[in-house]
Amino acid sequence: MGTRARRLWIFGLGVLFLVYVAAAFVPLGSTTVTAAFAEWPTALAAGVAGLSLLLASRRWAATGADRDAHVDGADGPAALRHLGFAALAWCAGGVTHGLTRLFSSSSVLSLTLGDLFALAALPLFVVGFTRFAPWPGGLRTAMRHITDSYVCAAAVFSVVWLLLFSPLYEELGEGAGFLGFALVYPVADIVVLCLLVPLVFMSPHSTRRAVLLAIGALIVIAGSDMIGALTRLTGVPIAGGVEHPIKFLGFALLGALPWLIEHRPGADPRRITGRGLYRFAPELAAVGAVAVAAVVLTVAGVRLPGVAPVLPLAAGTAVIVLLVRVLGMLEENATLARMVRNREGHFHELARNSGDVILILDRDGGVFYVSPGTAEAFGYRLDDVLAAPVTALIHPEDLARTKAVTDLFTERGSQGVHLRLRVRAADGTWRHTESTASLYEQPGEPDRLLVTTRDISAQVALQDEVEHLTFHDGVTGLPNRAYLEERASDVLAHRAISEEPTEDIAVIFLDLDGFTSVNDSAGHVRGDHLLGQAARRLRAEVDSNATLARWGGDEFAVLVEGVPRAQRVVDLAERLGRVIASEPFQVADRDIMLTASTGVAFAEPTTDSGELLRNADVAMTRAKERGAGHVEVYAAHMHDMVVSRLELQIRLREALANGDFFLEYQPVVDLGTSQVTSVEALVRWDRDGEAVGPDAFLGAAEESGLIVPLGEWILREACEKVAVWRLSDWDIGLSVNLSVKQVLSPRFMETVAGVLAETGLSSDVLTLEVDEEVLLDDGGEAVQRLAELRELGVRLAIDDYGMGYASLAHLRRLSVDAIKIDPSFIADLGRDDTVTLLTHTIIQLGRDLGVQVVAEGIERPEQLEQLRAMGCDHGQGFLVARPMPASGVESLVGGEAGVNL
C-alpha cells in the first residue's frame, strides 16, 4: 500500500470513528443511536478485521514480505492468521450477543454464549501476538515472565477495583455476587495486557511496529470492555454507549495492522538505558505496578472504613508468588555464580590452546594475565611479558592509536576496539599485529582490558607483494602506467597547494622504433627480453628526481620533478634516445639496432595529470611522424592537429555511409601505339561540393582502419564499371591501389574473390598495386597473401618503385607483373644524369625480367621521348591524360581508342 493510500485509510477510519462517537450523543427514544445499534457495528468491524488479517496472512506467506522478521524468530503469516481468528471470534461473540438480545430478555449479569466467543478470542490474540513478539527463551525464563505478569496484573486489578468497582460493590449489596460475571472481561483483559506488554520491549525491531499496533488495539478493546462492565453493573449506557465506538476503533486498528506496516522496515533497535535494562521489562513492570498499587491501597486504607474481601485475596496470592519469585532468583544467582566459574575455567583453557596471544591488562598497561601462546608467537618468556607495561613493546609511531583503548574505561562501550599495531618481537624485529580490545569486568575486581592479538606479518608481506605487482610491470620491473598516473596526479596536486616557488614538472614519452618487427620475427618472449635491456639502459640515465615507468607495449615514460631549467628535460630526452641507439640489442643470435622517438611535455600551472600525459603522448606521435629517432617538444598546435585528425576520421566515416566518395580514372597508354590499355581507379571525396584528392584523407583513413571498407568500395565500384566497358568489346584493364593494412585485413582474399565473382570481371584484367614496403615485411604475411592472389589470376604491380628501401633483390620475394616508376624519377629525367641512369636501369631490369614497366608523372614531351628511347612500354601522366570521370573515359576510348601523343 502506498503512502497516499495509507493516509486515506487512516483518515477514513478517523472519520467513521468520530461519526460513531457523535451518534452516542444523538437521542433515539429513551436511548441513543449508538446504544440502539448495540454490538452490530462492532461485530461487523471485527468480521472485516478478521478477513483483512487472513487475507494479509496469505499474501505475506506467498510473497515472503516478512523475511526480515523470520531472521529474528518471528512468523508474520502465522501471527496474522491467529489475530484474524481472534477478530472472527470477537465477531461471533458480537453477533451472538445481538441475536440474544433480540430473542431473549435474560439478565445481563450472567455469562452467555456470546461472552464465551469473546473470551475465546483472547487466547487466540495471545498466540498471534507472540508470533510477532516471541516468548523469552527457556522454561525458567518463561516462568519468571508469567509470575512477574501475575504480580503486575494483581496490582493493576487492585487499583482498578478500588477506583471503579468498589463503590458499585457496596451499592449492589446482596446482589454483589453478580459482580463476578461483570468483571470477567476486565480481569481477562488486565491479565492478557500484563502478560503481553513486557513483550513489546523485548520484541525484535523488525516487528516492533506490528507489535505496537496490536497492543494498542488490545488496549483500546480492553478500555471498551471496562466501560461495558460498568454499563452491565449500572444498567445505564455510559456516555450514550460510547464503549461501542471505542471497540469499533480497536477492531479497525487491528484490521488495518498488516496494511499499515507492509513493506516498511522496522525501527532501529534502541535501549532504554545504556546497560540494556529493556531485557528486564517484566520485572520492571511488576515492580512498578506493585509500587503504584501499594500507594493507592495505602491511601484507600486510610480513607475507607472497610476493605472488600477481594483485596486480601489479591494481596495474599501476590505475596505467595513473590516468595516463589524470590526463591527462583536465589536459585538463579547460584546458577549464575556456577556459570561464572565455569566461564573462567573455559577461558583459561581456550587461552592455553589458542594460537593467538590473549592478554588481560590493567588501566596502566600492566599485564595481569598472558596466554602461553605468547612465547611461540613472539619468542618472549612469560616473566618478561609480565615485568613491563605492554606499551613498551609497541612501536612509538603506533602509540597514538591506543587512545581508543583507554577510552573504553570512560565510555564503557560494549563494542570492542580493533587495532593494527607493530609489536617488537624477542629477536628485535617489528611484527605487524591485529588486535581486538574490549572491557573485561569481574565482580568485585577493577575493570581491565581483554586483548586478543594475532601476528599478521605474513599477510602484510603478501599485501605488499600484491601492491607491488599492481603498480609495477612484470617484464621490466619498472613502475607501470597506473603508478605513473597516480604519481603525476599527486605531484601536480602538491604543487597546486604549495605556497613556495616550484620548479618545472615534465613528462617524457619514448617509443622504440621498429620494435613491432622484432616481436613478429623473433617472438614475444625475445621481444620482452629486449624490453628488459632497454629498461636497464634507460634506468641508468634517470636521476633520483625522475620516475621511469613502462607505459605499455614498447613505450616508456619518465616523470621529471623539480627541474630548474626546461633545457635539462630536453637534454635528458635526447640522452635517452641516444642510449637506445648507442649499441645493438642482443636478441637470440642477432644484433638488432633500434632508435627511439621521444616526446616532451611541460606542466603549465593549470595542467592536470591526464592532460600532461596526453600532451607528451601527442609530442611523441609527432616525433614518429617526422621519422625515427626524433625528439619533439609539445606545442599547443599539436593537440589541435590531433583533434583535427580525429574530426577528419569521423567525417570520413560519415562520408562513406552517405556515399560522398566517387571515382575518377587515369588512363595508362601504350607509348608505342598511343592506345589506352588500362585505367587506374582514383578515389575522390565530395566534401560540401568540393572534390578532395586522396592525399588529404587517405592517411587518416589508414590510421582509423577505415581504409579497409573504403578500399573494398573502391574495388567493387571500379570492377563494376570496367566489367560494363568490357561487355562493349573494349579491351581495357583496371589498376587499383592497395595499402598494407588492406592486404593484412582478415577477409582480404575472400573480398577480392567475391568482388570478381559478383561483377563478372575476369581476374587477369585486374591489377592490384602495392607499395615497396610490402617487400620489406619481415613476417612475410603480406607477401604470402599477395602470392595467393596471383593464384586467382590477379596481376600485381609495385607502385612508386625506386623511392623505398627495397633493393632489386627484393623483387625475388614476390613475382610481380608490372613496375611503376615513381614520378620523382620522371620529373628529373634529362636534368639529372644519375636519375636518368637509374630510370634506364629500372626499365632495362623490367625488360630482362619480363615485367611490364609503367612510367608515372609524364608531363613534358621531352620526358616522353626519352622514355620511348629507353624502351619504356607504358606511361601515364598529365601529358598523356588527366584523371577523368567514367564518362570521359567512355568518350576517349569509345571515340578513338587512343590519345594524341
pLDDT in tens, 745-755: 888 889 999 99
Q: Which letter does DSSP use for residue 852 in this model? A: E
Q: Is 733 helix (H, G, I), strand (E, B) or coil?
A: strand
By DSSP bridging, strand 585-587 and strand 661-670 are unpaired
d(CA 671, CA 901): 8
In this structure, what C-alpha cell is assigned to residue 364? Answer: 596502566
The percent of residues in the chain predicted with pLDDT above 90, rounded, is 8
For 74, 355, 408, 452, 791, the CA distances from 416, given in Å and listed in that order, are: 29, 20, 8, 11, 81
Mean pLDDT for all residues in the chain? 76
The confidence score (pLDDT) of residue 559 equals 93
pLDDT at position 271 over 50: no
pLDDT at position 735 over 90: yes
pLDDT-derived band of residue 328, with 50, 70 and 90 as boundaries? low
The confidence score (pLDDT) of residue 668 equals 92
Q: Considering the entire predicted model, what is its pTM?
A: 0.43
d(CA 370, CA 377): 12
pLDDT at position 462 over 80: no
Q: What is the mean pLDDT of residues 789-793?
A: 85
Q: Which has more pLDDT, 184 or 105?
A: 184
In this structure, what C-alpha cell is assigned to residue 680? Answer: 587506374
Range name among 315-329, 555-569, 654-668, 739-753 with the lowest pLDDT average:
315-329
Q: What is the mean pLDDT of residues 567-592?
A: 86
Give the count of beta carbons closer than 10 Å to the beta carbon of residue 101.
16
Per-position DSSP letters for 809-842, written without gaps between them: GGGGTS--SEEEE-HHHHHTTTT-HHHHHHHHHH
Which among 504, 507, 523 is positioned nearest to 515, based on CA atoms?
A: 523
Q: What is the mean pLDDT of residues 299-307?
A: 50
Q: How would you label 727-761 residue by residue, b for 16+ Cβ within 10 Å and e otherwise?
A: eeeeebbbbbbbbbbbbebeebeebbeebbeebeb
Q: Which has more pLDDT, 102 or 280?
A: 102
What residue spans of 206-309 are helical by DSSP H?
208-234, 243-261, 281-303
Q: What angle do CA 250, 255, 261 make, to 5 degrees?
A: 110
Q: Which has more pLDDT, 859 or 116?
A: 859
383-439 pLDDT, tens digit per residue, is 666 667 777 778 888 777 777 677 676 666 556 777 888 888 877 788 888 877 877
pLDDT-derived band of residue 548, with 50, 70 and 90 as boundaries? very high
pLDDT-derived band of residue 691, with 50, 70 and 90 as boundaries? confident
pLDDT at position 274 over 50: no
Q: Which has more pLDDT, 462 or 821?
A: 821
Quick check: 220 and 245 in contact, CB under 8 A? no
In this structure, what C-alpha cell is assigned to residue 259? Answer: 496494511
d(CA 197, CA 284): 11
The percent of residues in the chain predicted with pLDDT above 70, rounded, is 68
pLDDT at position 558 over 90: yes
Quick check: 553 and 512 in contact, CB under 8 A? no
Q: Is 858 helix (H, G, I), strand (E, B) or coil?
A: coil
pLDDT-derived band of residue 521, with 50, 70 and 90 as boundaries? low
First to last CA, the chain: 94
The confidence score (pLDDT) of residue 897 equals 44
pLDDT-derived band of residue 373, with 50, 70 and 90 as boundaries? low
Which among 875, 797, 798 is positioned nearest to 829, based on CA atoms?
A: 875
- CA 778 distance to own-chain centroid: 46
pLDDT-derived band of residue 457, with 50, 70 and 90 as boundaries? confident
pLDDT-derived band of residue 63, with 50, 70 and 90 as boundaries? confident
d(CA 328, CA 283): 13
802-846 pLDDT, tens digit per residue, is 665 554 555 656 678 888 888 888 888 878 888 888 888 888 888
